[in-house]
């Protein structure tokens, strides 16, 4: 029996030594008792150096120390903690890294004697994510700038010319002298109708590209304007509600929330077959919550948002990306035959 146990201990030792994840054990004071090769690689220290070092020498920032204290407190109290969790740490030489780790108490004879941890270096992944976020942010900004420029050009340059043509045609056709031959007059009137139609289209287009109302009157007015259009043009009774004390939001937050609502309402009108929709903007202590709800047919949510983007459906994925740009969180809840709710929660 003893031999068997020793054998299994040897096996565990082998697993410990050669695991690709970093593993280490420290006592209640944080002094490291043991660590594997991957732990040495993660920290940049040799294994000999590591033994006896205190775990706090890797945790420099106030935030990482706070996290460590919280984890310790909860594990000792027997509470659940969210695992794995992220922790920033300092490698040998002073560079900062991020690890994803899981921790548990070491219990001997019914008493907690220390803690053991498993961790993976996710520094590069985090950096990549951050770069990606920055990249998306730059693209989104460039896109919005471009839309604004085009919208302004249409509104300020194209529309006035069309208006002038309409006025001139009006002047010609309404003037009794010289009296125009009927076929000629009819042709001018036809031109009038066409140019008026074109002006309408240009104005619509300019508004869609960048509703001026959001810059002039703010998010709530812009949402109300959009809801009115949806109600009028698609016969979906769409309401806007504002809850809590309205606060001024930074321009970027305003715009991104508006774009999310726009995309969500596009989905409502294209897919939901709903008769009602409601856009709610709720201001709360330090956060704003935007909700777009419909009473339509609902749909089956994909496992991952990326699955949709992979087949060219970019609406929901785009909403999620926009939410992340303002450090917000997007959640979608949909129930067959009941409807769909899209919620974005963002810090102010």
Binding ligand ATP by CB under 6 A: which of 64, 238, 267, 295? 267
Residue nearest to ligand ATP as judged by C-beta position:
315
267 is a contact residue toward Mg ion (CB under 5 A):
yes
Cα distance between residue 272 and residue 294, in whole Å: 7
315 is a contact residue toward ligand ATP (CB under 6 A):
yes
DSSP 8-state class, residue 210:
S
84 is a contact residue toward Mg ion (CB under 5 A):
no
Stretch that binds ligand ATP, among 182-190, 210-218, 246-254, 296-304 (CB under 6 A): 296-304
Find which of ligand ATP, Mg ion, none residue 238 binds, CB within 5 to 8 Å per kind.
none
Cα distance between residue 333 and residue 301, in whole Å: 8
Closest Cα partner for 338 from 264, 268, 274?
A: 274
Find which of ligand ATP, Mg ion, none residue 308 binds, CB within 5 to 8 Å per kind.
ligand ATP
Size of the site for ligand ATP (CB under 6 A): 16
Stretch that binds ligand ATP, among 19-27, 116-124, 147-155, 293-301 (CB under 6 A): 293-301
- Between the alpha carbon of residue 324 and those of residues 21, 133, 287, 319, the distances in Å are 29, 8, 14, 9
Q: Are 25 and 32 in contact (CB under 8 A)?
A: yes
Least distance (Å) between residue 266 CB and Mg ion:
5
Stretch that binds ligand ATP, among 120-128, 158-166, 227-235, 263-271 (CB under 6 A): 263-271
Find which of Mg ion, ligand ATP, none residue 59 binds, CB within 5 to 8 Å per kind.
none
Extract the tokens encoding 133. Answer: 């976020």
Q: Are 39 and 20 in contact (CB under 8 A)?
A: no
Cβ contacts of residue 303 below 8 Å, gap of 6+?
none
Comparing CB distances to Mg ion, the nearer of 267 and 340 is 267
Binding Mg ion by CB under 5 A: which of 90, 315, 332, 334? 315
Closest Cα partner for 254 from 280, 222, 226, 277?
A: 222
Contact string (CB under 6 A) for ligand ATP, positions 225-254, x = contact: ------------------------------
Cα distance between residue 125 and residue 44, in whole Å: 18
Cβ contacts of residue 121 below 8 Å, gap of 6+?
22, 42, 97, 98, 99
Find which of Mg ion, ligand ATP, none residue 296 binds, CB within 5 to 8 Å per kind.
ligand ATP
- Between the alpha carbon of residue 100 and those of residues 22, 87, 117, the distances in Å are 10, 6, 10
344 is a contact residue toward ligand ATP (CB under 6 A):
no
Burial of 296 (0-12, 13-18, 19+ CB in 10 A): buried
Find which of ligand ATP, Mg ion, none residue 272 binds, CB within 5 to 8 Å per kind.
ligand ATP
Least distance (Å) between residue 243 CB and ligand ATP:
22
Stretch that binds ligand ATP, among 134-142, 178-186, 201-209, 292-300 (CB under 6 A): 292-300
Q: Look-up: residue for tokens 């045609």?
A: 169
Least distance (Å) between residue 299 CB and ligand ATP:
4
Binding site for ligand ATP (CB under 6 A): 267-268, 270-272, 294, 296-299, 308, 313-316, 340
Binding site for Mg ion (CB under 5 A): 267, 315
């Amino acid at each position: 029996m003893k031999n068997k146990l020793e054998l299994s201990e040897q096996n565990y030792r082998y697993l410990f030594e050669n695991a690709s994840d970093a593993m280490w054990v420290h006592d209640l004071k944080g002094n490291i008792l043991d660590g594997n090769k991957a732990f040495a690689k993660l920290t940049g220290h040799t294994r000999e150096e590591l033994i006896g070092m205190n775990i706090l020498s890797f945790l420099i920032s106030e935030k990482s120390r706070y996290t460590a204290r919280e984890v310790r407190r909860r594990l000792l109290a027997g509470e659940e903690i969210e695992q794995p969790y992220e922790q920033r740490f300092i490698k040998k030489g002073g560079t900062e890294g991020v690890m994803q780790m899981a921790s548990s108490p070491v219990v001997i004879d019914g008493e907690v004697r220390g803690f053991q941890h498993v961790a993976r270096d996710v520094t590069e992944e985090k950096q990549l994510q951050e770069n990606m976020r920055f990249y998306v942010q730059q693209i989104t900004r460039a896109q919005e700038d471009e839309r604004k420029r085009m919208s302004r050009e249409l509104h300020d340059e194209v529309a006035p010319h069309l208006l002038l043509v309409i006025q001139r045609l009006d002047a010609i056709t309404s003037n009794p002298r010289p009296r125009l031959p009927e076929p000629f007059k009819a042709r001018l009137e036809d031109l009038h109708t066409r140019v008026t139609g074109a002006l309408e289209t240009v104005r619509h287009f300019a508004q869609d590209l960048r509703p001026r109302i959001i810059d002039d009157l703010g998010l709530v007015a812009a949402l109300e304007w959009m809801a009115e259009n949806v109600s009028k043009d698609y016969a979906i009774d769409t309401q806007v509600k504002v809850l809590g004390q309205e606060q001024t939001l930074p321009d970027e937050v305003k715009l991104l929330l508006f774009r999310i609502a726009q995309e969500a309402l596009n989905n409502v009108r294209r897919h939901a077959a709903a008769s009602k929709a409601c856009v709610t903007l709720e201001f709360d202590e330090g956060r704003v919550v935007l909700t777009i709800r419909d009473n339509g047919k609902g749909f089956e949510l994909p496992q991952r948002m990326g699955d949709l983007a992979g087949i060219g459906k970019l609406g929901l994925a785009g909403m999620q990306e926009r939410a992340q740009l303002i450090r917000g969180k997007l959640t979608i809840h949909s129930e067959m035959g009941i409807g769909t709710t899209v919620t974005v929660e963002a810090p102010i």
